[in-house]
Every structure is written in C-alpha cells, then in structure tokens.
C-alpha cells in the first residue's frame, strides 16, 4: 500500500478523518470556557483522572498526526518530482487557493500543534500560569486559558493558525471522500459544501474563544 500513491492517499484520508474527529471533540470540550470556571475545570479534572485513557489517546493522535504529515509531505514531493520543469505560465482555473496551499497550510498547522503543546499541555510557554489549582483543588485550566489569551500576540497566533486550519479543511474534507472512492457526481456538490461548513464551524468555534477573552467578554473574574 505504501508503494502506491493511491494507497497512501487513502491512508492519508483515514488519518485525516480521525484528526478531524479529534479537532471537533477538542473544540467542543474547550467551548466549556463559556460556561465558566466550574465547567471547564471539572472537565479538566475528569480527563486528568483517566491518565491511561488520556495518554493512550494522546499517543494515538501523535502517531496519526505524524503519519498524516509524513504522507502529505512525501506525496507533495513526488508530485513536484513528476514535473521537475514548471509551466511557462501557471493556470489556476481549476485549482483553488486551498488546493494550491495544502502543503503550506499543513506545515503551519504542524508548527501550531507544537506551539499549542508547549503552551497549554507542557507549560513551557507562559509557565507562570501552568499547574495552578482552583479553590476546589482541581487544575485551574480556566484561569490558565484566560490569562494566556489576554496576550494579543498569542491570541493572534491562535486565530491565524485556525484560518490556515480552515483553509486546509476546506480542500481536505472533500479530498478524503475522493481518496477512498466515495465521490459521485450526484453528491459532489454536497461534499464540497461539507468541506466549507466544516471549515467555517471549526474556525469560528476555535477562534471565538481567544478573541472573546482578549476583548474582555469572557474571564473577567480572573485576576492577574
């Protein structure tokens, strides 16, 4: 399967589908920031109370993510090698911006994931906000998130990353169906719209949280 570009595209679609599912679940969990500190900190405590499941999921996602990145880069390099001499005049009638920037948006997402892990998971970035507990003895994730996103540079970096993620998903979601042979002329318009809807939902949902905090709509009770 790895020797065939078709097989690797199918594997890339499967790993991509799993990662999209994770992004949606992760976003839904984080949206609890709108419910206040009790909801988000209770959610964090629940996850921390299941270390085997939590770390098992993290390792599985890491493997899927690295496999997806590897497949994407190798397929892109193969496509370029197949046409070492570029067109005299590039024509983009059929290729959208999302299609042409898949490799770039994928690399931006990779950089963002590393930054996100260093920020909220490992506490390397803004370490002064990491590891605190709320009055109930739970990880005070709510305060950590609020204080983190009060920084305009960090909030901007998150929003920009979400825009690239949306651009990536806009093309990737329909491509997943094509890679596993599920596209059909009758359903193609609906599949294309699914990519757009998925991208908009994730970009708006994930961007709304840091922006709401930055502009003082959420987290006003947190000091510091």
Distance CA(8)–CA(101), nearest Å, equals 20
Q: How far apart are CA 46 and CA 43, in angstroms?
A: 5
What is the per-residue pLDDT across 129-138, written as a single tens digit (0 to 9) for each? 998 999 999 9
Q: Which residues contact 104 (CB under 8 A, 6 or more apart)?
A: 164
Q: Which of 38-42, 63-67, 101-105, 206-210 has the lowest mean pLDDT?
A: 101-105
pLDDT in tens, 38-58: 999 999 999 989 989 989 998
pLDDT of residue 72: 86
How far apart, in whole angstroms, are the C-alpha atoms of residue 74 and residue 90? Answer: 23
pTM: 0.86
Please tell me which residue, 3 or 134, carries the higher pLDDT value: 134
The stretch 150-160 carries a mean pLDDT of 97
Give the pair of three-digit tokens for residue 96.
Answer: 């959208």
Is 222 in contact with 147 (CB distance < 8 Å)? yes
Place of tokens 């920031």: 33
Mean confidence (pLDDT) of the chain:
87
Q: The domain 5-84+98-214: what is its CATH number?
A: 1.20.1300.10
- More confident call, 40 vs 195: 40
pLDDT higher than threshold 60 for residue 64: yes
Q: Among residues 135, 149, 128, which one has the least CA distance to residue 217? A: 149
Residue for token pair 């305060």 = 143
Q: Find the angle CA(40)-CA(42)-CA(46) to the nearest 5 degrees.
A: 115
Of 53-57, 64-68, 85-89, 129-133, the poorest mean pLDDT is in: 85-89
Q: Which of 33, 112, 125, 18 is nearest to 65 (CA)?
A: 18
């Amino acid at each position: 399967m790895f020797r065939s570009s078709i097989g690797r595209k199918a594997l890339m679609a499967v790993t991509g589908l799993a990662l999209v599912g994770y992004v949606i679940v992760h976003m839904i969990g984080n949206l609890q920031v709108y419910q206040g500190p009790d909801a988000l900190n209770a959610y964090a405590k629940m996850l921390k109370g299941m270390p085997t499941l939590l770390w098992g999921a993290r390792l599985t996602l890491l493997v899927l993510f690295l496999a997806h990145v590897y497949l994407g880069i190798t397929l892109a390099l193969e496509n370029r090698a197949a046409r070492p001499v570029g067109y005299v005049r590039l024509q983009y009638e059929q290729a959208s911006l999302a299609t042409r920037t898949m490799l770039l948006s994928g690399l931006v997402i990779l950089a963002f994931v590393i930054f996100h892990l260093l920020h909220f998971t490992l506490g390397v970035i803004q370490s002064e906000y990491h590891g605190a507990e709320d009055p109930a003895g739970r990880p005070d994730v709510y305060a950590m998130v609020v204080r983190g996103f009060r920084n305009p540079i960090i909030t901007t970096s998150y929003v920009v990353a979400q825009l690239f993620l949306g651009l990536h998903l806009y093309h990737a979601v329909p491509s997943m169906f094509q890679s596993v042979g599920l596209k059909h002329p009758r359903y193609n318009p609906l599949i294309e719209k699914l990519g757009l809807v998925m991208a908009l939902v994730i970009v708006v949902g994930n961007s709304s949280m840091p922006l709401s905090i930055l502009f003082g709509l959420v987290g006003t009770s947190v000091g510091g």
